[in-house]
Amino acid sequence: MSNLLQVKQAYTGEVLKELKMHDGNQVDQMLTTAQTLHHQGALPVYERVNILRKLADLVANEHEQFSQLIANEGGKPIRDARVEVTRAVGGIHIAIAEIQTSQGTEIPMDLSAAGSGRKAFTILEPIGVVVAVSAFNHPLNLAIHQVIPAVATGCPVIIKPAALTPLSTLRLAELILEAGLPAGWVQVALTNRENSEKLVTDSRVAFFSFIGSSKVGWYLKSKLAPGVRCALEHGGVAPLIFDQYADEEGFVSGVVKASMYHSGQVCVSVQRVYVPQNRASELAQKIADIAAKQVVGDAVNEDSDLGPLILPKETDRIESWVNEAVEQGAQVLTGGKRINDVSYEPTVLLNPSKKSKVSTHEIFGPVVCVYGYQNIDEAISEANSLDVSFQAAVFSDDISKAMDIAKRLEASAVMINDYTTFRVDWMPFAGRKHSGYGIGGIGYSMKDMLEHKMLVVKG
């Protein structure tokens, strides 16, 4: 088996770089290094803050280089890749603000005679070694969300980036070193599945951060050493309920962006749109008319609205799922065919079977399904019918009705008159049911990476 990892341009397949993989002994040494640093103690907060400030400037100075890297290795259209880099810089500043205000609390002791004569307060300590396994679809910003909270809280961190998109993470790690963080506090593991599992399940790990498929995430959680905290971020089959909304033109354009962004390879991409039965065909066709105009091509091209899918096998899978849906009665309003090995047409399906894979599984492709519903109760029931539950959306000019629908939707977040893809990096971000465990978001991850210690003083 080759110990070389080839990183390829997502659209052309051209080899961008060959990287040497780490073996089991090297992974074990990474853990030893991280554990040793944790035992030696974290840098003072002011030093971490200064390092992060310098890092933010360094990343900002390479804004276009990172954007090109994201587009090339991950296939995200260059315009969207630039947004990702801007978010990444902002994420570093969020961590700076969070660590500067992080503090313990006083615990009152004289609430009863038993505690009288004592003073108590909590302090916050780094939890220990953090191991992160990341995903391909946001190769820089996901690394920011998993690595920077650890740096800010004083935890040594080992990150395993997606094998298809490691270059952004590797460059970020180089800049962290350049910003002044001593060697060993951030390590990047390039290794196979077997060694990755050994890394994650080692007893020296204190916190595990995972972004990826539910099958892998739940499996790894089941193998964690006793006492290891974790946060899992999986996908969903995001529902959107349309009631009535004055700006239908804006709504339709937004649906296209929210379902086709990064060719649908987003964990909260709009996939199921529920529309009143008497409007379903009309609105679905309007969505299709705009979707049909989307430019699909190499992500580095300035005019590309959609880039490639991450692998040819994903194109095969999406083609199979759409074909199945058509055989089971779905109407194709636009798209429905592959363009090449790594590209699929923006596709709008009307009323696919509720049992089709496009209705029950995260498609992670440029496909959106529109369903007609008889009443709101039916729409809510269908939206809640799956074992995945992440972000959801409702569009209605009747705010009372929208609030009622939002309360009844089984979701960790409901966007009212906005799309399931909405996210800012300081908000909580989490899946329910099979969609995840724990809470993401930079500040929330930082809280998970800190432990409270109570000190009680008598006399």
User: Does the annotation count 125 as an active-site position?
Assistant: no
What sign does the CA torsion over 158, 164, 166, 168 have? negative
Strand partners, 275: 372
Strand partners, 373: 276
Return the closest-CA partner of residue 438 out of 18, 149, 50, 123.
149
What residue type is assigned to position 150 of the chain?
A
Cα 133 to Cα 224: distance, rounded to the nearest angstrom: 13
Cα 331 to Cα 350: distance, rounded to the nearest angstrom: 5
| Distances from the Cα of 345 to the Cα of 43, 317, 348, 417, angstroms | 51, 14, 10, 27
User: Does the annotation count 233 as an active-site position?
Assistant: yes
For 350-362, letters b (16+ CB in 10 Å) and e give bbbeeebbbbbeb
Q: For residue 349, how many C-alpha atoms fall within 13 Å in the half-sphere facing its CB? A: 32
Cα 401 to Cα 404: distance, rounded to the nearest angstrom: 5
For 402-441, letters b (16+ CB in 10 Å) and e give beebbebbbbbbbbebebbbebebbeebbbbbbbbbbbbb
Cα 405 to Cα 415: distance, rounded to the nearest angstrom: 11
In the β-sheet with 106-107, what is the strand arrangement from edge to edge? 106-107, 118-126, 450-458
Backbone angles phi, psi at 385, to 5 degrees: -80, -10
Residue from 98, 233, 314, 362 carrying the catalytic annotation: 233
What residue type is assigned to position 153 of the chain?
T
The region, left, alpha or beta by phi > 0 then psi within -120 to 50, assigned to residue 335 is: left
Residue from 155, 230, 267, 369 carrying the catalytic annotation: 267
Q: Give the CA radius of gyration of the chain.
A: 23
Catalytic amino acids? 233, 267
